[in-house]
Structure 1
Amino acid sequence: MMSQTMSAVLLFMKVLTVYCLSPSQPKVEADCDKNVDLSCLCRDSTHFQLLSWYKIIEQKRHFLISTGDGLVEKATFSQRATFGEGDSLHLPAVKPSDSGTYKCAITANVGGQNKDCVVDLVVHACVTNTPTMTMTNEMLNTIPSAVNTSQKNGEELPLPVVWSSLSYLAVGLAKVLISCIGVRVIQACRM
């Protein structure tokens, strides 16, 4: 029994160590409407047959752009995507909808090893400037007159106090009436 517990603890420690020491995928954060270049981190040489970029949507890869033998091929829906420096994926004027996981896939020359790597892009929400209303002198002059409408010819009209009191009284009476009706209904049901 002790050896099984010890084995379980050792297995847990190994899994935890692998999880903690494994590199997390790179993450790029960008502001809205800024240009972004995503580097292909698994590209270690300039010799490859094909280098392709994909966007991962719901665990499916969607082709964006590729290069090989001096030719560039683009997907019809991703006309914005181009190649940047070092075959990075260049996305101009990104929007929050561009956020997601991008995959760089390298098809190696004969005798080489294919590689792929991913990078997460997070685009912050776009901030739009809304026009603010500025108070004019005319507006500022109407504020005191609106506050002082409870005074007319030197007489104070405490209408807000009266109406507030009446509304509280009406709500209180309604609650008492409903409670009385509820009590009568419960008594009638018990008989």
Structure 2
Amino acid sequence: MSQVAVFISLLLVHRATQSQSDYHCNCNDDALIPCPGISSMDFTAVAWYKVGDTSGSQVGTIKEGIIRKDKGDEKPLTYHFQREAKLGADYKLVLPRVTPRDSGIYECSINANIGGQNKELRVKLSVHECQAELTTVSLPNSTQSGTWQPEELPVMWSLIGYAAVAGLKILLSLICIMVIRVISAR
């Protein structure tokens, strides 16, 4: 019984001491998340996952597949991830134009050759809040005090507008009179 307890505690210590890298990125930048330790390993394939909700008690139990590439293949296999993702140089996960919603834990799963040991390395992505850019707009015909002055229309355009409205009113009145006469004649 004590051997089982020692074994379980060793497993827990091993799991707790696995390193997790942190990667910080600004909003709307392209995130290039490295797969730590991949350069020192002989492997057959690399897959990236996003680890599920880390706020609950089931930390790391839900993994959503993002992308996978076998070492000899030219094109990677993409899973049905909710956003665009690519593989960059050295099997880095590339997430274009990240937002704070992309923050979380990503897992690089390295499948080793026969006789080697598979690795699952985690990287915590932190995306800083997006800040609205302030731009100044200069309005035409504005005065130095900042009040907007309306542009005056030529008199001819004003008269044409008033005449068009008056003509439409007369036309609609005539149509209404004709409809009333037809209805009352029945």
Q: Distance in 1 between matches of 2:69 and 2:41?
A: 12
Aligned to 2:27: 32
Quote the offset at 1:36 in angstroms.
Answer: 1.2
CA distance in 2, matches of 1:127, 1:92: 17
Q: Name the residue aligned to 1:62.
A: 64
Aligned to 1:92: 96
Residue 129 of structure 1, CA deviation:
2.4
Counterpart position of 1:137: 145
Deviations 1:138-159 (A, max 9, x none): 76xxxxxxxxxxxxxxxxxxxx
Partner of 2:48: 53
| C-alpha distance in structure 2 between counterparts of 1:45 and 1:128, whole Å | 42
Residues 125 and 80 from structure 1, CA distance in 2 versus in 1: closer, same or farther, beyond 3 angstroms? same
Instruction: Report the Cα distance in structure 2 between the residues aligned to 1:63 and 1:102, rounded to whole angstroms.
Output: 10
- For the residue of structure 2 that corresponds to 1:52, the secondary structure is strand
Amino acid at match of 1:36: A
1:28-70 Cα deviation digits (max 9, x unpaired)? 1111000111111031446312110000112311100000031
2:124 aligned to which of 97, 110, 120:
120
| Partner of residue 162, structure 2 | none
User: How much has 1:114 moved relative to structure 2?
Assistant: 0.5
- For 2:176, the equivalent position in structure 1 comes to none
Secondary structure of 1:97's counterpart equals helix
1:97-116 matches, cutoff 5 A? 97-116=101-120
Structure-1 separation of matches of 2:146 and 2:76: 63
Change in Cα spacing, 1:52 to 1:24, as seen in structure 2 (3 Å) is closer
Structure 1 gap segments, 5+ residues each: 1-17, 140-191
Structure with greater helix percent: 1
Q: How far, CA to CA, are the matches of 1:66 and 1:99 in structure 2?
A: 20
- Say which one has the larger Rg: 1
Q: Which amino acid aligns with 2:124?
A: D
The Cα shift of 1:128 comes to: 1.0
Equivalent position amino acid for 1:93 in 2:
R
Q: How many Å separate the matches in 1 of 2:47 and 2:18?
A: 23
- The alignment's TM-score, normalised by the length of structure 1, stands at 0.55
How much has 1:25 moved relative to structure 2? Answer: 1.7
Distance in 2, Cα, partners of 1:34 & 1:86 = 19
Q: Distance in 2 between matches of 1:82 and 1:108?
A: 21
1:130: Cα distance to partner?
4.6
